[in-house]
């Protein structure tokens, strides 16, 4: 770009390039462009100006990004096309890119975890700390690398290699012991410790380093899954506002495209935000709804409201499959090795899946586990309705629905209060609910 060398444009382009964290490579690009103005070019002054960008990066105000460079370029006539094309008008015209439906071949969904996480898609596992997100991630990796069966007869995963981004836990004393406890094949697991760009090492960034991930996927070969724990740690320092939907979308869209291009499942770990008064699992994922919008599958880990010391792995969103029931799990601990230097056993937690599905939604589980107003309303509703004697179950369910109390919530509270069921009129008769103090010969069939 040679159009205009006004001081403000020169400074803004320098700032934009510096924010890319390309180090000397970025400085060289700015220097070579600046050198086109031979009368005013001063490399020493250029270096001083560049250093000021780094010092003032966190100054208040709207940041100058690489989009600034493209905007200036387009104002000067650049269109992004190759020069010297025979039909200049065709090269500069803007077009809507379309494809006739008949030119695209239909395909099925290639599942990693049947009905839950698919290859070529981006998914999330979200929840509060200490709920077992890391152990579930280790279990999925074990299923992919060592042919473990998924719980409750949900099938098996395609076998292959895994790339694991881990920013919070120690790989040696936490993640690897968990993988061993889960039964993973460690030879198939590849941890990302960082990147090397122009001889300098730095933390991987989803903003600038997706080409390096694509390169590693090809080099390792047969990569089936990429695990990112947590996604928020790889957004690039100072580059993305995690609360901004547009910022988050601009990062996750290329990641989704990469997953589809390379036909790998990408599963990210996300934390719940601090809005504990909200009982919608989707609204608790990180700081922006854009995370949920980008993901095809979102699963939450939530305290089990029915059984103490167990938790639920429950669907919050799944655009590609029917409504699969929740999974109940506990946390076990096993010895996976011995540390000769410390003289102690190496113990690690692992997921213990219960053998049966659980009929509950993510929001219902959050409401019940949190002692929500809905659960309390259901208790008061049943006590008030049954205080005077047994009532028809179908009438109670209909009236509860009119007051915003779901059937699953109502039945869960029914069980919690010890309310019993009995049928009058034989096998085709009517079911009644009654408080336990008046129950005689009752059962729990409905």
**265 or 404, greater pLDDT:** 265
pLDDT at 239: 65
User: pLDDT grade, residue 429 (50/70/90)?
Assistant: confident
Common-topology check for domains 111-362 and 372-438: no
Q: Is the pLDDT of residue 40 over 80?
A: no
Write out pLDDT tens, residues 337-390. 999 999 999 999 999 999 999 988 888 888 776 555 566 778 888 888 888 889
Mean pLDDT (whole number) for 318-324: 87
Q: Is the pLDDT of residue 198 over 50?
A: yes
pLDDT at 374: 66
Mean pLDDT (whole number) for 90-117: 87
pLDDT at 84: 47
Domain boundaries, the chain: 7-79, 111-362, 372-438
The CATH class of 372-438 is mainly alpha
As a CATH number, domain 111-362 is: 3.40.50.300
Mean pLDDT (whole number) for 69-86: 59
Q: Is the pLDDT of residue 1 over 70?
A: no
pLDDT at 219: 97
Q: Is the pLDDT of residue 79 over 60?
A: no
**10 or 147, greater pLDDT:** 147
Write out pLDDT tens, residues 286-311. 888 889 999 999 999 999 988 888 99
Write out pLDDT tens, residues 239-286. 677 778 888 888 899 999 999 999 999 999 999 988 877 778 888 898
Q: Is the pLDDT of residue 168 over 70?
A: yes
Q: Is the pLDDT of residue 228 over 80?
A: yes
pTM, two decimal places: 0.66
Mean pLDDT (whole number) for 68-82: 62
User: pLDDT grade, residue 90 (50/70/90)?
Assistant: very low
**420 or 371, greater pLDDT:** 420
Mean pLDDT (whole number) for 48-67: 65
Closest by CA position to 400, among listed 415, 385, 417: 385
pLDDT at 398: 86
């Amino acid at each position: 770009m040679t159009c205009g060398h006004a001081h403000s444009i020169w400074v803004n382009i320098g700032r934009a390039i510096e924010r890319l964290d390309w180090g000397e490579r970025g400085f060289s690009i700015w220097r070579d462009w600046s050198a086109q103005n031979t009368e005013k070019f001063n490399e020493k002054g250029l270096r001083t100006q560049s250093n000021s960008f780094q010092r003032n990066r966190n100054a208040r105000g709207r940041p100058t990004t690489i989009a600034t460079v493209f905007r200036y370029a387009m104002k000067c006539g650049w269109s992004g096309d190759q020069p010297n094309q025979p039909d200049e008008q065709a090269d500069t015209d803007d077009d809507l890119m379309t494809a006739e439906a008949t030119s695209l071949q239909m395909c099925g969904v290639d599942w990693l975890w049947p009905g839950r996480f698919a290859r070529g898609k981006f998914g999330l596992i979200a929840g509060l700390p200490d709920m077992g997100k890391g152990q579930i991630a280790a279990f999925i990796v074990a299923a992919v690398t060592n042919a473990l069966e998924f719980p409750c007869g949900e099938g098996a995963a395609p076998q292959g290699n895994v790339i694991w981004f881990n920013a919070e836990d120690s790989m040696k004393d936490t993640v690897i012991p968990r993988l061993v406890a889960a039964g993973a094949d460690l030879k198939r697991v590849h941890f990302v410790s960082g990147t090397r760009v122009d001889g300098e090492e730095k933390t991987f960034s989803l903003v600038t380093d997706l080409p390096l991930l694509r390169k590693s996927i090809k080099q390792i070969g047969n990569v089936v899954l990429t695990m990112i724990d947590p996604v928020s740690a790889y957004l690039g320092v100072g580059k993305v506002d995690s609360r901004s939907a547009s910022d988050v979308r601009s990062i996750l869209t290329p990641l989704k495209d990469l997953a589809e291009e390379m036909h790998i499942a990408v599963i990210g770990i996300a934390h719940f935000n601090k809005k504990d008064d909200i009982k919608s699992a989707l609204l608790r994922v990180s700081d922006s709804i854009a995370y949920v919008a980008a993901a095809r599958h979102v699963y939450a880990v939530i305290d089990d409201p029915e059984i103490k010391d167990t938790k639920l792995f429950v669907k919050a969103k799944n655009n590609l499959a029917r409504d699969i029931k929740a999974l109940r799990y506990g946390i076990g601990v096993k010895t996976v090795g011995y540390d000769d230097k410390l003289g102690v056993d190496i113990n690690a937690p692992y997921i213990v899946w219960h053998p049966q599905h659980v009929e509950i939604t993510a929001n219902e589980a959050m409401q019940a586990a949190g002692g929500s107003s809905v659960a309390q309303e259901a208790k008061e509703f049943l006590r008030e309705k049954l205080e005077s004697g047994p009532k028809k179950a179908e009438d109670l369910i209909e009236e509860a629905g009119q007051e915003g109390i779901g059937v699953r919530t109502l039945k869960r509270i029914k069980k919690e209060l010890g309310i019993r069921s009995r049928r009058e009129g034989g096998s085709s008769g009517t079911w009644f609910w009654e408080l336990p103090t008046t129950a005689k010969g009752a059962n729990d069939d409905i």
